[in-house]
């Protein structure tokens, strides 16, 4: 049976007394390069864009159109955690930091957050609920997944122009065959996550050879 995102989680939160509910999702845990990006979205139930769904299920053009529409009809905020922060904290912690930053960046403070995943950020400043596969079940989280994906993809396209050859404009920093080949041929950039095994191993080999 196909899962369709709806407003049932938001409705239940409203019934529990919460007044302003944000969906929160992150993009970019898996890539070898670039930041991790999170978005927080508070939907207006009377102005929900048609076709909201998990960003991974939508083509790029549709994501970008929905992102533009969401910024017109919803309260939206985006935040990032840098490569240096990822390497310092670990990717899970960095993802949670980005989520909290996105919530804090909303124009109006929310009192309940619907978070994609199985764990709430430890620094969450409001009540929260973790929803496994939330981006496919909850419209607010689906909206956040779209906004975060579009924002991060644009960063990676910009970085690809500064560091050509790694294919970031299409692989978005993920460890594709072409990206890994470029790492061997072109080396590690400041935008690569040194705590991730493929990057760490390259640097370790370089240090071993120079020792």
- Residue 116, annotated as binding a ligand: yes
C-alpha span between 207 and 189 (Å, rounded): 16
**Secondary structure of 101-114 in HEC code, one letter for each residue:** HHHHHCCCCCCEEE
Name the maximum alpha-carbon separation found in the chain.
64
Residue reference for tokens 């909850």: 138
- Residue 6, annotated as binding a ligand: no
- For residue 165, the number of C-alpha atoms closer than 13 Å in the C-beta half-sphere is 11
Residues in the chain: 211
Cβ-based neighbours of 158, under 8 Å, separated by 6 or more:
none
Distance of CA 16 to the CA centre of its chain: 28
C-alpha span between 36 and 30 (Å, rounded): 9
- Residue 64, annotated as binding a ligand: no
Query: Hey, how many other C-beta atoms are within 10 angstroms of the C-beta on 44?
Result: 9
Return the axis-axis angle of helices 139-162 and 60-73, rounded to nearest 10°.
120
Binding residues: 25-26, 116
Annotated binding site for a divalent metal cation: 25-26, 116
């Amino acid at each position: 049976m196909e899962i369709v995102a709806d407003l049932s989680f938001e409705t239940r939160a409203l019934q529990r007394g919460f007044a302003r509910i944000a969906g929160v999702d992150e993009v970019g845990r898996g890539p070898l390069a670039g930041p991790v990006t999170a978005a927080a979205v508070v939907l207006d139930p009377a102005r929900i864009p048609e076709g909201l769904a998990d960003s991974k299920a939508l083509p790029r053009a549709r994501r970008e159109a929905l992102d533009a529409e969401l910024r017109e009809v919803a309260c939206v905020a985006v935040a990032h955690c840098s490569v240096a922060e990822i390497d310092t904290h670990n990717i899970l912690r960095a993802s949670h930091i980005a989520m909290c930053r996105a919530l804090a960046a909303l124009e109006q403070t929310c009192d309940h957050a619907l978070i994609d995943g199985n764990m709430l950020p430890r620094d969450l400043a409001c009540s929260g609920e973790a929803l496994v596969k939330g981006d496919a079940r909850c419209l607010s989280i689906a909206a956040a997944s779209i906004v975060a994906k579009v924002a991060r993809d644009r960063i990676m396209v910009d970085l690809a122009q500064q560091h050509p050859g790694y294919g970031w404009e299409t692989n978005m920093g993920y460890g594709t065959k072409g990206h890994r080949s470029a790492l061997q041929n072109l080396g590690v950039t400041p935008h690569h996550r040194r705590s991730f095994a493929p990057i760490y191993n390259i640097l370790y080999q370089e240090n071993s050879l120079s020792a």
